[in-house]
Structure 1
Amino acid sequence: MKLLSWNVNGMRAVLGKGFGDFVSAEQPDILCLQETKARPEQVPMPPELDGYHAFWNSAQKPGYSGVAVFTRSEPIEVQEGMGFEDHDKEGRVLTLEYPDFILVNVYTPNSQDGLRRLPYRMEWDEVFRQHLMTQALKKPVIFCGDLNVAHQEIDLARPKDNRMSAGFSDEERAGFGKLLDSGFTDSFRHLHPETRDAYSWWSYRGGARGRNVGWRIDYFGLSTPLVDRLKSAEILPHVMGSDHCPVSITLA
Structure 2
Amino acid sequence: MTTTIATLNIRHGGRKSGEAVATRLLGYDADVLVITEFRSNEVGLQLCTRLDASGYATSHPDTDPKQNSVLVASRRAIARSWPFSEQLGANHLWCAEIDGMAVCAVYMPQRSAKLPYWEALIAGARRGGIGLLIGDFNTGDNDLDKDPKGTKFIAPEMPGRLVACGYTDMWRSLHPKTREYSWYSRPGGNGFRLDYIFAASELAQQVGSCEFDHAPRISGESDHSGLVASLW
Give the TM-score range, shorter chain: 0.7 to 0.9
Correspondence for 2:143 = 153
1:141 equivalent in alignment to 2:131 = yes
Aligned partner of 1:251 in structure 2 is: 231
TM-score by length of structure 2 reads 0.87
Q: Residues 47 and 37 of structure 1: is their aligned pair in 2 closer, same or farther, counting only changes over 3 Å?
A: closer
Q: Report how many residues are paired.
A: 225
Aligned to 2:25: 23
Match of 1:162 among 123, 147, 151: 151
Matched residue type, 1:251: L
Letter of the 2:144 counterpart: I
Aligned with residue 229 of structure 1, among 206, 214, 217: 206
Q: Kindly provide the CA deviation profile for residues 125-172 of structure 1, in whole angstroms up to 9, marking residues without a partner as x.
A: 211222312222xxx61101111102241111125x523xxxx13xx1
With 90-99 and 2-11 compared, the bigger mean Cα shift is at: 90-99
Other-structure match for 1:55? 59
Q: Relative to 1, partners in 2 of residues 1:157 and 1:101: Cα closer, same or farther, differing over 3 Å?
A: same
Deviation at 1:49, TM superposition (A): 4.6
> Greater strand share, 1 or 2?
2
- Corresponding residue for residue 202 of structure 1: 184
Q: TM-score, normalised by structure 1?
A: 0.81
Q: Which ranges of structure 1 fall in alignment gaps of 5 or more residues?
A: 112-117
Q: What's the CA shift for 1:176?
A: 2.4
Residues 173, 58 of structure 1: alpha-carbon distance in 2 compared, 3 angstrom cutoff:
farther
After the TM superposition, list the runs of 4 or more consecutive aligned residues in structure 1 that deviate by more than 6 angstroms. none
Distance 1:52 1:146 in 2: 21
Q: CA deviation at 1:83?
A: 2.0
Structure 1 Cα separation of the partners of residues 208 and 44 of structure 2: 36
The Cα offsets for residues 218-239 of structure 1, whole Å up to 9 and x where unpaired, read as 1000111001111000111122
% identity of equivalent residues: 21
User: Which of 11, 14, 20 in structure 1 is aligned with 2:13?
Assistant: 11
Distance 1:40 1:183 in 2: 39
Q: Is the Cα contact below 8 Å between 1:135 and 1:141 reproduced in 2?
A: no
Number of the residue aligned with 1:94: 94
